Structures are given as C-alpha cells and as structure tokens.
Amino acid sequence: MFALLISVVVFIAAVVACINSDVSLGGTIAGGVAGLILSSVLIGYVVRKRVTKVQNELQEILVNGQKQVNRKIQLFQTRPGGNIKQLQRQIEADQKVLITEALEFTKRLETFKKWTLLMGRQIATMRCSSTIS
C-alpha cells in the first residue's frame, strides 16, 4: 500500500515538474509514467529482498526441525525395541512445536503487509503450508 502511494506521489511530482518546465504533453506523460514505474520497481526490489530474507529464515527453521525429527526416527530404527507408540507421540509433539514456532515466526512478515498489496494473501498461504508440512 505504501509503495503504491509513494509511486503515485512520485508520478504527480514528475508531472508537476514537467509542466513547470514547459515540457510537451507527451514528455509530461512519459516522465510521469517513468517516475511511477521506476519508483514502483525500486520499492518492490527493496521490499522483496527483505521479505526473501525473512522467508529464508522461516525455511531454515522448518528444515532444521524436520532434520531433528528425521534424526530421531533414524535413531529409533538403528536401535529397535522401543515403544513405537511413544515414539509416534514424541514425534507428533515435536512437529507440533515446530509448526507453532513457524507460525509465530510468520508474524515477522506482518510489517510487509503495508508495503505490498498481496502480502496478506502470501502470509496466509505460508501459514497454511506451514501447518500442512
């Protein structure tokens, strides 16, 4: 949302600057559109870099948690004779903790909702996919 507002402000500023400097109508339109597109691209690039950083951290949390669960399963397979039901309950509890941690981590993405129009949907998708995996 902020990105769009800033881009519109840049568009208006470019148009006003072109009008005040007696640029032709075509030049004024081109300058305004160029300002709009350039500011949108620059803001989108910065926001995307920051979102990608947070998403990579979330992915790392999920991968490390899955590795721990796999390690427990492999440990059990190398020394059989334990209670399978207890192992299943323990793994389910570990997965529940992992999912809760991942869902809590997605709250760090809430600040980006103000900058990107569809970030709310992307966060909801991440939360849904975190609970599935």
**Is residue 112 within a helix (H) or strand (E), and if so which, with residue range?**
none
Q: How far apart are CA 13 and CA 75, in angstroms?
A: 65
Residue 35 makes CB contacts below 8 A (sequence gap 6+) with: 7, 10, 11, 13, 14, 15
The string of pLDDT tens digits covering residues 94-130 is 999 998 998 899 899 888 888 888 888 888 888 787 6
**pLDDT value for 52:** 93
* Four-residue CA torsion sign, 120, 125, 126, 132: positive
**pTM, 2 dp:** 0.76
Site of tokens 């966060």: 123
CA separation for the pair 49, 129 (Å, rounded)? 21
Q: Give pLDDT tens digits for 49-91.
A: 999 999 999 899 989 999 999 998 888 888 777 788 888 898 9
Q: Does 132 or 88 have the greater pLDDT score? A: 88
Give dist(CA 115, CA 1) in Å, integer: 5
In the chain, domain spans: 2-132
Higher model confidence: residue 1 or residue 111? 111
Q: What is the pLDDT of residue 97?
A: 92
